[in-house]
Amino acid sequence: MTRPNQAQPPVPPSSATVIIVDDDAGIRASLDSLFRSVGLETRLFGSPAELLGSSLPDGPGCIVLDVRLPGVSGLDLQGQLVRQGISYPIIFMTGHGDIPMSVRAMKAGAVDFLSKPFRDQDMLDAVTAALERDAQHRAEAATKEDIRAQYETLTAREREVMGHVTAGLMNKQVAALIGLSEITVKIHRGNVMRKMGVRTLADLVRKAEALGVSQTRGTTDHT
């Protein structure tokens, strides 16, 4: 089970890491210098393979990536990282890009797409936007992970009951539905409330929504 992480203080932007992937050592060096000058950590890689083979930091950060790279294209790397569960926001750079390439990257969720040469300030603005997006994403993921960790402490029966209860069924309906006595459903329900860390049905419903749980039949509207 994961430790609850909702108590973590917001990480100051200065501790974020920018992952730089470019086959040109000169570019790597100048980006490294640029980012360090504003207090950001950096990790340098000459190829996608290096990046994939290394253990990445799990703190806040983003990736600055050349589209045209030895071995894998930057756009392909984007897909591979997603498959590996790495979801840093990506900023693309290119020396010889075209419009379809930039559009494809943006459709795939890139934060920005800069043509070389670019102004330092444009790159810094893009990184700032990327780190903001990452922070947002991390906050949401942390909240959701806490809820999921609680959900995983539930037994199968408790989850079943939780689904029906958050769908709006009464205890007796749940009991009839899964062939139990009402008192047993009440016990499971009480366990669910305790394990999910909520005291009211309203809060339980919200957590269930966040999890995508709850057998939502159309119980609404009785005009």
Q: Which of the stretches 82-90, 112-120, 132-140, 181-189 binds DNA when contact is defined by CB under 7 A?
A: 181-189
Residues in contact with DNA, total (CB under 7 A)? 21
203 lies in the binding site for DNA (CB under 7 A)? no
Shortest distance (Å) from residue 149 CB to DNA: 15
Taking CB under 7 A as the criterion, the residue among 43, 68, 148, 157 binding DNA is 157
Taking CB under 7 A as the criterion, the residue among 2, 37, 54, 181 binding DNA is 181
Count of other CB atoms within 10 angstroms of residue 19:
21
User: Of DNA, a second copy, none, which one does residue 156 interact with (CB within 5 to 8 Å by kind)?
Assistant: DNA
Q: How far apart are CA 155 and CA 70, in angstroms?
A: 49
Q: How far apart are CA 207 and CA 85, in angstroms?
A: 24
112 lies in the binding site for DNA (CB under 7 A)? no
By CB under 8 A, name the binding residues for a second copy. 94, 97-100, 102-103, 106-107, 112-113, 115, 165-169, 197-203, 205-207, 209, 214, 216, 219-223
What contacts 67, CB < 8 A, 6 or more positions away?
73, 74, 75, 92, 93, 94, 97, 101, 105
- Helices and strands counted in the chain (H then E): 9, 5
Between 63 and 204, name the residue whose CB sits nearer to DNA: 204
Region for 8 from its dihedrals, namely left if φ exceeds 0, alpha if ψ lies in -120 to 50, beta otherwise: beta
Between 1 and 156, name the residue whose CB sits nearer to DNA: 156
Tokens of residue 79, six digits: 């897909």
133 lies in the binding site for DNA (CB under 7 A)? no
Q: How far apart are CA 109 and CA 43, in angstroms?
A: 22
Q: Which of the stretches 55-63, 105-113, 118-126, 188-196 binds DNA when contact is defined by CB under 7 A?
A: 188-196
Taking CB under 7 A as the criterion, the residue among 28, 138, 164, 188 binding DNA is 188
Q: How far apart are CA 97 and CA 104, in angstroms?
A: 11
What contacts 168, CB < 8 A, 6 or more positions away?
219
Shortest distance (Å) from residue 158 CB to DNA: 6
| Helix pair 120-152, 25-37: axis angle to 10 deg | 80
Can you give the binding site for DNA, defined by CB under 7 A?
A: 155-158, 170-172, 175, 179-181, 183-184, 186-191, 193, 201
